Structure 1
Amino acid sequence: MKLINSLTPSQEILIPVYREKWREIALSTESINHQKATVAINAAYQIISYLHPRIIFCDSPHRALKQMERGERNKVTNRLDKKLRIELIEELAKQVGGKLRSDVNLIWSQLRPQLWGQLMRQISGEIGLKLGEGIQPELWACNASIFDFYISVLSCSHDEKKWQIYRDLILNCGWFFPFENICYVSARPDILSFDNQQRLHAEGSPAIQFRDGFSIYAHHGVRLPARYGTVHPNQWQAEWLLTEDNAELRRVLIQEIGYVRISQELQAKELDTWQEYTLLKIDNSVNLEPIHLLKMTCPSTGHIHVIRVPPHIGLARAAIRWVNWGINPEDFSVQT
């Protein structure tokens, strides 16, 4: 078999096309067609020599989890993954040179954190789901983007039946949990909301929501508890920092609330002043270490800007010097 070792320019420009094609498929919020999903599931069971299962459709992975018999990675999940995804990987990889595989894998490497890593982390973290308990089409879509490119663009030979079943499962199912005699198939989410960097994000509303109301809140990729996620960031309260133990959530709260509001609402203590600069300290246990803030008030506009400085700094002039990379405030030719 002659290896394919390079791409033509016309082939190379199609890489992002296939990445975006499978991102759109994986992030679909259209309702699944139960009849098509049933056909796809039955074909998958047949290819691993299992009888057609009883299929139960659920409104969310959470609902499926509550109904199914949980366990470690079951043999049906394992066999389907090996028969379809792994065997397609092995079959197609034999026809493509190592460097080219690395180049084309850019499709996979850019999709996987967005489509699978993020969704899996958020959803499974919310409901306590282990990876081995089911199959997530988002993960399979990452591989499908490469399979599709190899097959459609590079004309690699392949098992057409496996590829058809693999595609049909992604196109027609949400998360599904296959057991020997029964298979639970989740609906797709009704809402999927992202920021401009493709991170799960919504303000005051769910970033992921299923038809049964199961929801996940996220702020630029960080999962939020409902007590924060249901409130628009403009209305977040500085006092929440006093009881929040999670460091990542404290970081998000601080970033959105801002040090100006934090210093006002938590009654920061004045340590020192120099001209229009004031060094403040927040005594409350907002963070793992004391928070020292340099407040700068513009003499002409009255605009206030607050920036955090290291907690060992106790004088306003020292804080100004730290902010300005060691330059003494007296050396400023123009103060703003």
Structure 2
Amino acid sequence: MSQLTPEQEQQIPSYAKKWRDIAYSTEPIDREKVTEIISRAYFLLDKKAPPIIFCGSPFDYLQKISVFANNSQPLDFSRIADRLNLHFGKIFQELGDFHKQATDLAKESSELNPKMQMSVDEVLQESFPEVFNLDELESNVEQWQKERKEASQQFQQELKESFPEFELPEEFGEGLNTALDYHNKVQSEILRQITHEQRSYISELLGNRSTFKPRILYNLIDKAIRPYSENLAPRLVYNAISNISCADNYNWFDFSISVLGCDCDLEWWQSSVDIMQNCGYVYPFENICYVCDRPSKILFDENGLAHALGEPAIEYRDGFKIFVCHGTLFTEKYISVPISQWQPQWYIEEKESRLREALIEVLPSDQLQVEWLLAEENTNLRQLLTNKIGHERILNDIKINDDLNILSQSLQDNSASSFWVAYAILKNQLEPKIQKVIEKWKISRGTFRELLQMLLIDSLERILAWQNQNVPDYEDDFQQGLTYEEIEEKVKDLPFKLPREFYHLYQWRNGSSRESGIFLYLYHCPIEQALEYNEYINYPESIGMRIEDNCSPYLFPLFDFDGEYFAIQGIANEVETSFVCHIGADGGGEKLIFNSLTTMMMAIAESYESGVYIYEPEYNSVSWEDMEKSGQIRLKYNIGTAKRIYGEGG
């Protein structure tokens, strides 16, 4: 099975809808039907169906089991963590010692001649028959497994005796969520019959990697009820089966079994589907089972994140309510008063960008401050503030002389980035190199767009000039620039637009080899290479995560060094400039570090010329001389961006 047939692909939408409806259902559960389903599931485990206690919500479940709490204070997980670290640390130390001995032995014996190697092999087989004697290997493995099981049982018993507060009440019996949940078993069975690539393709078509993310909703509910479970045994809290948390796996399980014909235990599969389809949360124990009703209301924003202003985004029939803003829980101060009483000073105090977004939406425009715009690092919120405050008020309140008449032009660009570029130009127009370009621009009576292009190209040429003057035997291996039409042909199929300064950059040069850095060691990617990196950076899960984090969904990489990128934001419309973010090679999150390509190059050019970057002959490379000053120069041209690129500065 290398790919899906057209007929199979046509069935994808029905399975996507089926499991979306299951995950987000707000219908009340049918208690009689649920009782029958739970009884049948226990029967498959050869267990008697226990009494079922129905709960109005997961919060109601926690209230009902709170009588079994053994602690008046939140559980101290550090004690059991220390014990686990000690136990497993000893095992890993023994494995590490054995691995080192084996590695050393292999290294020494690998250089032996074949005859000597045979002698060594004979000695090893005689000395370690339990490992090298194939006739005894099977029995040795069985013995090892038996000893491992006994050791595990002994350790579990020790934990029970040492940490009784973490154990289930005796009257509950064992937790059965793992036994009743067919999830892990059916997944392993299906993955033996289809490839990982096929699974990924099916999941993508179902929307699991972009539009359908029920686990976010599950995590929200979990976070909302967590304060009420801190003194309860974890196995009481997490012995759960949830239709919400599993739906983005069950949809491709269902498709693989029903459409592709993958084999599995159909009786178990149907039992598992029945639980998902007819219950809310299920907390199954050996001697009792709790089943929660579904929410009566779930409200979403345009990105599929739970969201509502002035009302709960998630509500249960028993009255439990969860207040959420674009996937982020509101804190108590927002819930305790009507939204008409929200205070402007909360914006300055608020760390969560989603809650600052809520304040922008709720507060009257005359209560929003231009100072917030100048201090805001989140690019989405910059745009929201700009739109709501309005261009006229921004121009009136901004404390700067717009003698070049570029601020008003920048605000017409429909890009939050362009305003910041114009602001930086006005703040730094007396810098000699900047002033020289501005004078040429004045003579030509150019537009704001032409000034941006002149400053960008001038800064790039200054960087190249420094390299030629300060790096011995420097080779300019930048490729010849492309025409506008050539660039447009290469990027026409992207699902986003790139700013005009991107075109100016690639009309100047089409990237370089890894030997010609722009920002120290990061080299300018040829456009073909940038398009390849784009596929890696903008895969569906990554786009979804950026949306959840209230960031721009698309980033296009322009500069690279071994997986570390400077990437420009992709936008919906044609604009002059766009923000530039840093993507760490360690997989860290993206952060705004330059307000545009133009201000990026202006800052880098000045950093080279002021001695912040220096050539180091012993390494034949350019490096920092002063990271602190480097950061100061970057922020001078890129106001409101991250305070540091790296931990040390920059």
TM-score, normalising length: structure 1:
0.74
Equivalent pairs counted in the alignment come to: 296
Check whether the contact 2:307–2:327 (CA below 8 A) recurs between aligned residues.
yes
After TM superposition, the structure 1 = structure 2 runs for residues 33-48 of structure 1, keeping only pairs within 5 Å, are: 33-48=30-45
CA distance in 1, matches of 2:49, 2:326: 41
Q: Residues 36 and 229 from structure 1, CA distance in 2 versus in 1: closer, same or farther, beyond 3 angstroms?
A: same
The residue number in structure 1 matching 2:214 is 115
In structure 2, give the amino acid aligned to 1:16. P
How far did 1:148 drift? 1.4
Which deviations, in whole Å up to 9, do the C-alpha atoms of 1:206-251 show, x marking residues without a partner?
1100111100011111111354257776764313336x45434653
In structure 1, give the amino acid aligned to 2:57. S
CA distance in 1, matches of 2:331, 2:60: 19
Q: Residues 235 and 9 from structure 1, CA distance in 2 versus in 1: closer, same or farther, beyond 3 angstroms?
A: farther
Local SS of the residue matching 1:75: coil
2:300 corresponds to 1:194: yes
CA distance in 2, matches of 1:137, 1:281: 45
The residue number in structure 1 matching 2:121 is none
2:77 corresponds to 1:63: no
Check whether the contact 1:72–1:133 (CA below 8 A) recurs between aligned residues.
no
Local SS of the residue matching 1:110: coil
Local SS of the residue matching 1:304: helix
The residue number in structure 2 matching 1:104 is 202
Local SS of the residue matching 2:361: helix
Q: Residues 176 and 231 from structure 1, CA distance in 2 versus in 1: closer, same or farther, beyond 3 angstroms?
A: same
How far did 1:193 drift? 0.7
How far did 1:304 drift? 3.5
Check whether the contact 2:20–2:212 (CA below 8 A) recurs between aligned residues.
no
Check whether the contact 1:205–1:229 (CA below 8 A) recurs between aligned residues.
no
* Alignment counterpart, residue 4 of structure 2, candidates 7, 10, 19: 7
Which deviations, in whole Å up to 9, do the C-alpha atoms of 1:118-144 show, x marking residues without a partner?
222211111115672311111232222
How far did 1:110 drift? 3.4
* Alignment counterpart, residue 180 of structure 2, candidates 67, 73, 80: 80
Which deviations, in whole Å up to 9, do the C-alpha atoms of 1:16-71 show, x marking residues without a partner?
33122210121111110001111111122222232211100011110101112575
Q: Residues 99 and 114 from structure 1, CA distance in 2 versus in 1: closer, same or farther, beyond 3 angstroms?
A: closer
Check whether the contact 1:5–1:99 (CA below 8 A) recurs between aligned residues.
no
CA distance in 1, matches of 2:392, 2:313: 33
TM-score, normalising length: structure 2:
0.40
CA distance in 2, matches of 1:104, 1:20: 14
CA distance in 1, matches of 2:371, 2:37: 62
Which deviations, in whole Å up to 9, do the C-alpha atoms of 1:93-140 show, x marking residues without a partner?
222123212211323733796212x22221111111567231111123
The answer to which of 17-26 and 319-328 deviates more is: 319-328
Task: Name the structure, 1 or 2, with higher relative contact order (CA <8 Å, separation 6+).
Answer: 1
CA distance in 2, matches of 1:216, 1:77: 25
More strand by share: 1
2:24 corresponds to 1:30: no
How far did 1:8 drift? 0.7
CA distance in 2, matches of 1:112, 1:35: 34
* Alignment counterpart, residue 173 of structure 1, candidates 279, 292, 304: 279
Which protein shows a greater Rg? 2
2:267 corresponds to 1:161: yes
Q: Residues 249 and 144 from structure 1, CA distance in 2 versus in 1: closer, same or farther, beyond 3 angstroms?
A: closer
How far did 1:176 drift? 1.2
CA distance in 2, matches of 1:184, 1:235: 40
How far did 1:281 drift? 4.6
2:20 corresponds to 1:17: no
CA distance in 1, matches of 2:211, 2:303: 14
How far did 1:80 drift? 1.9
2:53 corresponds to 1:51: no
The residue number in structure 1 matching 2:366 is 261
In structure 2, give the amino acid aligned to 1:304. E
Q: Residues 142 and 322 from structure 1, CA distance in 2 versus in 1: closer, same or farther, beyond 3 angstroms?
A: closer
More helix by share: 2
Query: What is the root-mean-square deviation in Å for CA atoms of aligned residues?
Result: 3.8
Q: Give me the identity figure in percent.
A: 33
In structure 1, the gaps of 5 or more residues are 265-279, 297-301
Check whether the contact 1:137–1:170 (CA below 8 A) recurs between aligned residues.
yes
Local SS of the residue matching 1:154: coil
In structure 2, the gaps of 5 or more residues are 70-165, 169-173, 408-418, 430-437, 449-650
After TM superposition, the structure 1 = structure 2 runs for residues 209-224 of structure 1, keeping only pairs within 5 Å, are: 209-224=315-330
Q: Residues 259 and 208 from structure 1, CA distance in 2 versus in 1: closer, same or farther, beyond 3 angstroms?
A: closer
CA distance in 2, matches of 1:72, 1:306: 60
Q: Residues 172 and 250 from structure 1, CA distance in 2 versus in 1: closer, same or farther, beyond 3 angstroms?
A: closer
Q: Residues 205 and 151 from structure 1, CA distance in 2 versus in 1: closer, same or farther, beyond 3 angstroms?
A: same
Q: Residues 200 and 186 from structure 1, CA distance in 2 versus in 1: closer, same or farther, beyond 3 angstroms?
A: same
